[in-house]
Amino acid sequence: MNMVLTRNWWAVALRGVLAVVVGLVALFAPRVFLTSAVLLFGAYAFVDGVFALVAGIRAATRHERWWPFILEGLASVIAGVIAFAIPAVAALALLYLVSAWAILTGIIRISAAIRLRKEIKGEWLLILNGILSVIFGVIIVVFPGAGILTLVWLMGVYAIIFGVVLVALGFRLRGHRATATARRVGIR
């Protein structure tokens, strides 16, 4: 895992830059951010549902198990339609989805950092990133009534901090790669 991270340090840094951009959009154009997020989710859910329905129909024609695909497809299509028809409900659902995502990915990052602590210096950046993700996810669950705008701004601040930490981690990994390469060729 260490070599994969160091070889792809630029991808980690790029993810950070993109997160900063998303965060700035959330802070300075919250309606654009929220509308975009809801519509993107709606479009994805609808298209995903159509593909699941097609898979279910194909499975039925082959006398295979078809109903799980049909149920999944219907649920996704309905979610997509709701996102377009009642965006406020979709926005709240999306916030809970973001919360679950933040908590889960935060726990995974903390776990990865603990496993990497003997291999790289600066693993605390990944731990910090994971802790910030978990805190962000918990805040959304505990205070949903704080208002969509507040949560969008919180998402923006989170995205900026998350992005800056990832950029720092990316450059730390870049330095670690150079050091590891120098050791391999015998330069100290």
Count how many Cα atoms sit within 13 Å of the Cα of residue 156 in the half-sphere of its side chain: 18
Q: What are phi and psi of 143, to 5 degrees?
A: -125, 55
Considering just the CA atoms, what is the radius of gyration of the chain in Å?
21
How far apart are the C-alpha atoms of 28 and 23, rounded to whole Å?
Answer: 9
Which pLDDT tens digit goes with each residue over 10-35? 888 999 999 999 999 999 998 888 88
pLDDT, tens digit (0-9, with 9 covering 90-100), for 23-72 = 999 999 988 888 888 888 889 989 999 999 999 999 899 998 888 889 99
Lowest mean pLDDT among 10-19, 84-93, 154-163: 84-93
Residue 143, pLDDT score: 80
d(CA 148, CA 138): 15
What is the reported pLDDT for 73?
92
Q: Which residues contact 43 (CB under 8 A, 6 or more apart)?
A: 80
Burial classification of residue 4, based on how many CB atoms lie within 10 Å of its CB (0-12 exposed, 13-18 middle, 19 or more buried): exposed
Kindly tell me the number of DSSP H helices and DSSP E strands found in the chain: 7, 0
Check if the beta carbon of residue 157 is closer than 8 Å to that of residue 39: no
